[in-house]
């Protein structure tokens, strides 16, 4: 074999090894994060984590944070924090929450917040009730609007509702820490309890007989929203005080449930001022 052919063969072998190594690297997956106990949750994102750290009722167990995120959160000396905190590279957080999560360089492991009972509403005047809204992105966005409009509590069902999670908390952008969450087993019974407590319960329905503005009355309002597509369940529709619609003059006659929540909460707040 000539020197030229030997050189060509060595070059081909070199590229073959590179291609094989590239294929092997592609097959390696990031290590999966260990599962947490059911009563714990991973929360990520700057706004989400800052709100959790500032919430005295939130029990933080551990933190993983990049140098940049630690500076933005103004954490100071990590060793002085009342929980273990570790300075890591972003890929370490990717391994915990997934590379698709917009974690912004920080994740905390914490105890989930404990849901309250309906009997703990106290002097509430505005309540938001969700009838099997299951998408955590939507529920998180709804929480954000609810906090913005000073809603006293969010009521969901124990089943067919998303559990507290990093996705929900990130969508809520800190609002998770600022609203009372009430879980009920039977929504129809819960609505009846709201009636007994003096609430007018109004279900949002695109085919409702009257606009929401003309339906709201009294000093205690509970808005009830159903899941996208399905809307309110029949039993819920039969139990609420009234059904009402959001009047929209455009070609599209319905909104995403989180947008509908924001609009209806604004209307409810205006009604409670009157």
Structural domain ending residue among the three candidates 111, 140, 174: 111
What is the mean pLDDT of each successive set of 10 residues along the chain, which is 274 residues long? 51 53 40 76 96 96 96 94 95 91 95 91 95 95 97 94 93 94 96 97 93 95 92 96 92 88 97 86
**At 74, which CATH number?**
3.30.1330.30
- Residues constituting the chain: 274
In a domain, 10, yes or no: no
pLDDT at 46: 97
The sign of the torsion formed by the CA atoms of 231, 232, 237, 242 equals negative
Tell me: do 75 and 200 sit in the same domain: no
Q: What is the pTM of this model?
A: 0.83
Nearest to 126 by CA among 224, 269, 26, 274: 269
Domains of the chain: total: 2
In a domain, 269, yes or no: yes
In a domain, 96, yes or no: yes
Q: What is the C-alpha to C-alpha distance for residues 197 and 123, in angstroms, rounded to an integer?
A: 10
pLDDT at 19: 52
Q: What is the C-alpha to C-alpha distance for residues 148 and 25, in angstroms, rounded to an integer?
A: 47
pLDDT at 99: 84
């Amino acid at each position: 074999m000539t020197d030229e052919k030997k050189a060509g063969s060595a070059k081909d072998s070199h590229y073959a090894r590179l291609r094989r190594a590239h294929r092997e690297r592609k097959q390696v997956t990031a290590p999966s994060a260990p599962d947490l106990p059911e009563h714990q949750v991973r929360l990520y994102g700057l706004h989400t984590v800052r709100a959790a750290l500032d919430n005295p009722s939130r029990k933080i167990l551990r933190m993983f944070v990049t140098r940049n995120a630690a500076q933005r959160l103004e954490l100071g000396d990590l060793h002085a924090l009342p929980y273990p905190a570790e300075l890591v590279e972003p890929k370490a957080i990717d391994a915990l929450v997934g590379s698709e999560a917009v974690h912004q360089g920080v994740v905390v492991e914490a105890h989930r917040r404990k849901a309250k009972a309906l009997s703990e509403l106290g002097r509430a005047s505005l309540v938001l009730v969700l009838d099997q809204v299951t998408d955590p992105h939507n529920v998180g966005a709804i929480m954000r609007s609810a906090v913005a409009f000073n809603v006293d509590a969010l009521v969901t069902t124990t089943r067919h509702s998303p559990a507290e999670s990093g996705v929900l908390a990130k969508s809520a952008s800190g609002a998770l820490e600022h609203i009372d969450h009430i879980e009920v087993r039977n929504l129809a019974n819960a609505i009846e309890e709201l009636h007994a407590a003096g609430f007018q319960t109004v279900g949002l329905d695109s085919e409702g007989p009257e606009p929401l503005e003309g339906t709201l009355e009294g000093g205690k309002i509970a808005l009830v929203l159903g899941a996208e597509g399905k809307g309110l369940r029949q039993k819920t529709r039969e139990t609420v005080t009234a059904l009402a619609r959001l009047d929209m003059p455009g070609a599209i006659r319905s909104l995403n449930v989180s947008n509908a929540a924001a609009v209806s909460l604004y209307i409810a707040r205006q009604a409670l001022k009157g």
